[in-house]
Amino acid sequence: MPKILIADELSPRALDIFRSRGVEVDINVGLKKADLIKIIAGYDGLAVRSATKADKDVIAAAKNLKVIGRAGIGVDNIDIPAATARGIVVMNTPFGNSITTAEHAIALLFAAARQIGAADVSTQAGKWEKNRFMGVELYAKTLGLIGCGNIGALVAERALALKMKVIAYDPFLSPERAIKLGVEKVELEDLLARAEVISLHTPLTDKTRNVLSADAIAKTRKGVIIVNAARGGLVDEVALRAALESGHVAAAGFDVFVTEPAKENALFGAPNFVATPHLGASTNEAQENVALQVAEQMSDYLLAGAVTNALNMASISAEEAPRLKPFSRLIDKLASFAGQIADEGLEAIEIEYEGEVAHLNTQPLTATALASLMRPLLPDVNMVSAPAVLKQKGTPLTESKRDTSPIYGSLIRIRVLTGGRWRTLAGVVNAGAAKIVEVKGMALEADFHPVMLFVNNSDKPGFIGALGTMLAEANINIATFNLGRQAAGQDAIAIVGVDQVVPEAIQHKLRALPQVRYVKVLRF
C-alpha cells in the first residue's frame, strides 16, 4: 500500500480521498527540515503547499519517494532538478485556484485605480478627504497582460467584461488562441508603449526575472498602473518605488514580493501603492479545490500510473494508461535489448512509431525507452529522470510517426548509434504480449525470455549445430530458438531463449566460431 506524508495544512477531504483510494496517510505539519529528512525515506509521496521546502537535501534523503504533489501552482519550494535526477514526479494543481487568483488581480487593479486602501485608512480615521482620492476609470483603458496562460486568460475575460481593451505579450500564445480570447497578441516593447494598465501572469524564470526592469518601466506610458499577483521578482521593486515617487507610475497593487514573508520592502510606504500578503489563492473554494486535486493526482499516479499536471514528465491520463500499458511493456523490452547491445555508448537514438500507436500519447513511451536504453550504464535512471539525463549528455534524439504500418496494426522501432554503427530493433504487441519482429532489418518473430542469447553470424552451414552442441554440453536448456537472415549465405541472426545464464567461457567459444560476428547474453 502506497504511503503519503501530508506536510502542510490541507482540507480534510483530501485525507478522505487518499484513504478511500487505498493510500495510507500520515499528517505531520510544521516539520523542521532536519525532522523531515529523518522520516521522508518511509514515504512514497509528499503532499505540500508552500511552507514545506522539498530542497535537494530532503530529496536526497527520500529513498522511496515517487511523487511530490503541490496543492497550488507555484513550486518555488521544490527543487525540481534534484527531484528529476532522482526520478521523482513533481505535480502541481494549476487550475484549482486560477479563478481565485484572477479575481484577486482584478481586485488589486480596482484598489490601485481608486486608491481604496489609503481611502479606507483615511476615512476610518475620520478625515473625510474626498478631494484627495481622485481615481481613474478602467472603462476603455488598454490592459497589457504579460503572460496569457490560464490565469492571464481569466483576467482578460474579466477585463473585457469591464469594456477594457486587452493586449498580451506571451511567446507561447498562438494567434488562434489570441483571437478566441479576444485579445491582441503583441511584443513586449509594444505592450510597454501602449498599455495604460499592466498585469503580470507569468512564472518566475531566468527569462522573466525583472521583466519589468528599470529600463522597461521607463518605456511605459506616464500614469500607468502596474499589478503583480503572479510571482515576486518579475518587477524590479526598487525601480518601481522610484517610478511611483516620480509619478511616472500612477499606482501599483502587489500580492507577491521578492522576499516573503515581506516584513519590509522597498515598495512599502510608496505613494499610491496597495499590498496584500500573497492572498491570490486564499479563498475557501480555492484551498478546497487544490487539496482535492492533489489528492486525486497523487493517488492516480501511485495506484494506476496516471500522470496529471506533472512539471518534469509527460502527462498520462487515467483513460490513456490502460491503452499505453502494453506498448510501454513492449518499448521497455525493446529499449532494454538495444541498450544491452550498445556496447560503445549511445551516440544517437531514433524511435519510430507506426500505425495505431502513433496516434497515442507517445511521450511517456519515449521516456520509458530512454530509461531502459540508459539503464545498463546508469542503473538508477527512470522514465522521469531519463529525458533530462539524455539532454544533459547532449545525445541526439529523433522521434518520428507514421499513421500506418505496412504489415502490423502497430509497430515500434528503435535505432541506436553505437561505435559509429546503427543497430535496429522493432517489435509489436500480439495478443497482449511483446514480440520482436525485426533485428538489423531482418524479419523474424521472437518472444522475449528472461535470459536470451543474441548471436550475429554469417548464414553458413554448421553454425546452428555448433551452437546447439555447445549449449547442450554446458547443460543449458533452450526454451525458444528464432532465426533471421538477409539472404542465403549472407548476414544472419539467432535469438535463443535459454533457461540458464550462458557462462562467459561458452560465450568465448561461440565468438571463436568462424561464422560468428557478435555474441551477447541479454537479461529481461
14's CB contacts (< 8 A; 6+ apart) are 6, 47, 71, 291, 292, 294, 295
Q: Note if 184 is an active site residue.
A: no
Cell 548476414 belongs to 491
**DSSP 3-state assignment of 428?**
strand
Cβ–Cβ < 8 Å for 136, 113: yes
C-alpha distances (whole Å) from 131 to each of 113, 248, 450 are: 15, 21, 85
Q: In what order do the strands lie in the sheet with 24-27?
A: 24-27, 3-6, 45-48, 67-70, 89-91
Cβ–Cβ < 8 Å for 195, 188: no
Cβ–Cβ < 8 Å for 341, 520: yes
**Phi and psi for 69 in degrees, rounded to 5?**
-110, 125
**Cis preceding-peptide flag for 261 (omega within 30 of 0):** yes
C-alpha distances (whole Å) from 179 to each of 53, 149, 156, 185 are: 40, 14, 12, 9
Active-site entry in 104, 241, 278, 413? 278
Q: Note if 449 is an active site residue.
A: no
Cβ–Cβ < 8 Å for 471, 498: yes
Q: Note if 157 is an active site residue.
A: no
Q: What type of residue sits at position 232? A: G
Name 26's bridge partners. Answer: 5
Active-site entry in 260, 285, 344, 473? 260
Active-site entry in 158, 231, 413, 423? 231
Catalytically active residues, by annotation: 231, 260, 278
